[in-house]
Amino acid sequence: MRLESRFIARTLLASLLAGTALAAIAQDKVTIATNWRAQPGHGGFYQALADGTYKKYGLDVDIQQGGPQVNNRPMLPAGKIDFLMTGNMLMAFDNIKQKVPTVVVAAYFQKDPQAIIAHPGQGFDKFADLAKAKTVLLAKDGQISYWQWMKKAYGMRDEQVRPYNYSLSQFLADKQAVQQAYATSEPLAVEKQAGFKPVVLSLADAGWSTYGMVIETRQDLVKTKPDVVRRFVEATNIGYANYLYGDRKAADELIKKINPDIGDDYIEKSIPILRAHIDVGDATTKGIGAMSDERMKDFYDKAVAAGLYKPTDFDYRDAYTTQFVNKGAGVDIRKAAAK
């Protein structure tokens, strides 16, 4: 009987170990590539990695950061990565126009962080005031995208534009100059370097209705492995909710380790800005990462009106799917934090 008991015990232990091994094997390996170096805006991904949310959802996630010398974009259709962080919907529209088989599955910035900054007290208090600016500093990407909309909607003129070289020197030297900005970047840098808060004029508040920081994947992955896509999106949504409202220490340490240029002061100043861009609009009721058909159509119509596309170029509805979002992810976390 004793030998039999030992045999049974060993058998049970072997089964338990085999089950543990199978559970480990069952972790689906996926790679998400970001569009820039690690920062608080990417906090949801690092939070879900650091606190075990991805693991809980059966995912072994590798976060591949972008940067000034890194172009992760072609790696998605090539199958080198599974998910790609993209700045806004224009890139997704471009892919559909060029018949690149990708699709947006979540949108983390309900309010696009792109903005124009100006010196205070110089008469640039409303977005429409920018039409009288002598100098508008814009990088090439801005010139061929939202600037075209600004000309159509607000009467801006090409002769106002000067190249933006990603240095604040031109802006700080000329009080009448205005320049492009990202809500969590240039405004904070001006305050740190020059000691004043610039006027921040949001493109989203002015009507530029694109989602920001959208997540793309391949259309074939949605068709063949929808459960993997679902788990990745849901886990990331929860990651963002916990990063914005919970204990984010482990995620912040991971971000700082990967990108030593990020400091605690910058993180603390970024969090309220991120909340104001991520957990707003539809996200407050439908959950973080929310998307709507109405919003997509509105932005597509504006892009066409601005001359960025022709109505016959593509069907904008092929650029995204709402099947993995709008399920209330993170709403309970925010409510609990509010209490």
Give the model confidence (pLDDT) of 148-169 as tens digits: 999 999 999 999 999 998 899 9
For residue 269, CA distances in Å to 129, 263, 277 come to: 28, 10, 14
Per-position DSSP letters for 79-133, written without gaps between them: TS-SEEEEEEHHHHHHHHHTT--EEEEEEEESS--EEEEE-TTSS--SGGGGGG-
- Phi first, then psi, for residue 225 (nearest 5°) are -135, 55
In this prediction the pTM is: 0.89
Torsion of Cα atoms, 239 then 243 then 248 then 254, to 10°: 60
- Residue 202: which of 228, 182, 230, 222 has the closest Cα? 182
Q: Are 181 and 116 in contact (CB under 8 A)?
A: yes
Our separate counts of H helices and E strands in the chain read: 15, 10
Tell me phi and psi for residue 64, to 5 degrees.
Answer: -105, 110
| pLDDT one digit per residue (tens) for the chain, 339 residues | 444 444 444 544 444 444 444 344 478 999 999 999 999 999 999 999 999 999 999 999 999 998 877 788 899 999 999 999 999 999 999 999 999 999 999 999 999 999 999 999 999 999 999 999 999 999 999 999 999 999 999 999 999 999 998 899 999 999 999 999 999 999 999 999 999 999 999 999 999 999 999 999 999 999 999 999 999 999 999 999 999 999 999 999 999 999 999 999 999 999 999 999 999 999 999 999 999 999 999 999 999 999 999 999 999 999 999 999 999 988 899 889 887
CB 274 within 8 A of CB 40: yes
Strand bridging mode 177-182 / 135-138: parallel
Q: Residue 108: its pLDDT value, please? A: 97
pLDDT on residue 4 = 47
Q: Which residues, 6+ apart, have CB-to-CB distance to 317 below 8 Å?
A: 293, 296
Gap between the Cα atoms of 228 and 32, Å rounded: 13
Encoded amino acid at 204, one letter = A
pLDDT for the residue 337: 86
With residue 63 as reference, give the H or E element that holds it. Answer: strand 59-64
Q: What is the pLDDT of residue 8?
A: 44
Length of the chain: 339
Residue 210 Cα distances to 9, 34, 106, 295, 301, angstroms: 60, 18, 13, 8, 11
CA distances from 304 to 5, 52, 293, 311 (A): 75, 43, 16, 7
- Taking only the tens place, the pLDDT of each residue in 231-249 is 999 999 999 999 999 999 9
Give the pLDDT score at 78: 92
- In the numeric block, which tokens belong to residue 187? 């405004």
Any idea which residue has 């030998």 for tokens? 3
Q: What is the pLDDT of residue 72?
A: 87
All structural domains of the chain, each given as residue ranges with its CATH number in brackets, are 8-111+210-338 (3.40.190.10), 114-202 (3.40.190)
DSSP letter assigned to residue 218: E
For tokens 């170990």, the residue is 17
